[in-house]
Amino acid sequence: MNQTNDNSMPQRKIISNGVSPVVTRFAPSPTGYLHAGNYRTAVFAYLFAKHSGGKFIVRIEDTDAARSKREYEENIFDALAWLNLPADATYRQSEHRSRHRELLEKLIAADTAYVSKETPQKPGDREEVIRFRNPGGSLTFSDVIHGDITTDVTDLGDFIIARSLDEPVFHFAVVVDDADEGVTHVIRGGDHISNTARQLLISRALGFATPTYAHLPLIMDSQHKKLGKRTGAKALTDYRLLGILPEALLNYLAFLGWNPGDTREYMSRDELVEAFDLTRVQKGSAVFDEVKLFSVNQHWMRKLSTDDFLTRGNLSSDSPEKLRKAVPLLQERARTYGEVQEMLDGELSCLFSAPEPARDQLLAKELPGRQAVAKSALEGLLEAIKALPGEVSAEEVKGVIMPLADEEEARGKGGRGAVLWPLRYALSGQERSPDPFTLISILGPEESLARIQKAIAILEG
């Protein structure tokens, strides 16, 4: 793995150093599918960089060759592209081995680090590792979000920075790469707070400028534990499978631990870039709420035009015209495209295939002479529906049917429902469905008539 001639890796661009004031990075390790919490840090890093007119880079931290998988790496770029968070440059940490080695040797030569003889504690442990000579004392760094954070680095001891000259450990590789790539702002999860001190020690020993740190509050699951694979967090790309729109997910993620300072709740990517500000980032952790995400998604689905709605959801049908007419129904009912599909297969399936109404259900409820009432009610509609034009709006249908239902009501035989219920049920064959006027406008007079006549036949039989 880790060959360089692989086109799954996006095109590289050289960052012109000094030109851009801000460079942020997203540095995931490709050892599994990343979840919403991971991508939330990417979102913040991206928004901050773009708001500042800077660069956003992605670095795959694949120094753990045993656990890193190309499949996961592809999934990361796939998700980033889907969320529309394009990188200005991408790197793979394993490609910087010689640079890491060079600096490791430099530290050893300066006796800031040393090769240490070890007694292996577990399988895989080396007999020799490279340790950093810890100067001890306390170290304070200023975090953009949390303010000053002080650590007593003595507690860290002479920590390991590499398993061998060619196998630097995370802390070392991160510091070197961030510096080499010109990263000015390290925006990452709060679980890295305790790593910062030792990284700062390495950074100083190497003579690097220290980047600005911003440790984001963690995203929690419903049990208030850090979002994690083992605790059932979904891979971000699973939300695409559920039929979530990327702009909705981006919107939701951006609002987890941040807000624009005004009353806006729904913001496009451009609006987010414009408004994003690290100083408004929350200190406390936030719980990921799928229900809220769904509601944000519904908002964005409703904003789509009929054509876009169909295209974005990859929706098609043998009856494209009916499907088009059903879009408003879908937009008011479904929160995700997954739900759209469920509805098309379920409660809205009556739009595409003739129902088999049950005799008992056709009868208006709780009425004396129910059968006669339902039958005559349906028969009374035949003429009016026959007279309808081929293309009718639900409003127009309502205009002709409602008066007839009102007449029935005037006769005191159970109100409009005596007409409306059998009608709706005859058309849909379902206890729950859109209203009969909408149904007729989608089905058209001809098919509606056929369904009503079928229902009348059932009542007679």
Cα separation, 134 vs 202, in Å, equals 9
Q: Which is nearer to RNA, 224 or 318 (CB)?
A: 224
Smallest distance, Å, CB 81 to RNA? 21
Residue 170 in contact with RNA, rule: CB under 7 A:
yes
Provide the mask over 174-213, with x wherever binding to RNA is found by CB under 7 A and - wherever it is not. x---------------xxxxxx------------------
Rule CB under 7 A: which of 64-123 touch RNA?
A: 64, 67, 93, 118-121
Structure tokens belonging to residue 170 = 């995370």
What one-character DSSP code corresponds to residue 450? Answer: H
Contacts of 343 by beta carbon, 8 Å cutoff, 6+ apart: 330, 333, 334
Q: Which is nearer to RNA, 118 or 379 (CB)?
A: 118
3-state helix, strand, coil in the chain (%, to 5): 50, 15, 40
Cα separation, 405 vs 28, in Å, equals 64
Rule CB under 7 A: which of 3-62 touch RNA?
A: 27-29, 31, 61
Q: Select from 180, 141, 335, 131 the least CA-distant residue to 244.
A: 335
Rule CB under 7 A: which of 392-431 touch RNA?
A: 405, 414-418, 420-421, 424, 431
Do the strands 23-26 and 55-60 form a parallel or antiparallel pair, or are they unpaired? parallel
Q: Which is nearer to RNA, 21 or 431 (CB)?
A: 431
Contact window for RNA (CB under 7 A) among 47-55, 240-248, 251-259, 351-359:
251-259
Residue type, 92: R
Q: Which is nearer to RNA, 190 or 246 (CB)?
A: 190
Do residues 270 and 254 touch, judged by C-beta distance below 8 A? no
Q: Give the one residue of 12, 13, 292, 411 binding RNA; rule: CB under 7 A.
A: 292
Q: Give the one residue of 79, 113, 139, 169 binding RNA; rule: CB under 7 A.
A: 169
Question: Which region, left, alpha or beta, applies to residue 412 given φ > 0 means left and ψ of -120 to 50 means alpha?
Answer: left
Q: Give the one residue of 8, 142, 150, 353 binding RNA; rule: CB under 7 A.
A: 150
Sign of the CA dihedral with 255 first, then 224, 297, and 59 last? positive
Provide the mask over 255-284, with x wherever binding to RNA is found by CB under 7 A and - wherever it is not. xxxxx-x-x-x--------------x-xxx
Do residues 335 and 242 touch, judged by C-beta distance below 8 A? no
Rule CB under 7 A: which of 346-365 touch RNA?
A: 347, 364-365
Smallest distance, Å, CB 440 to RNA? 12
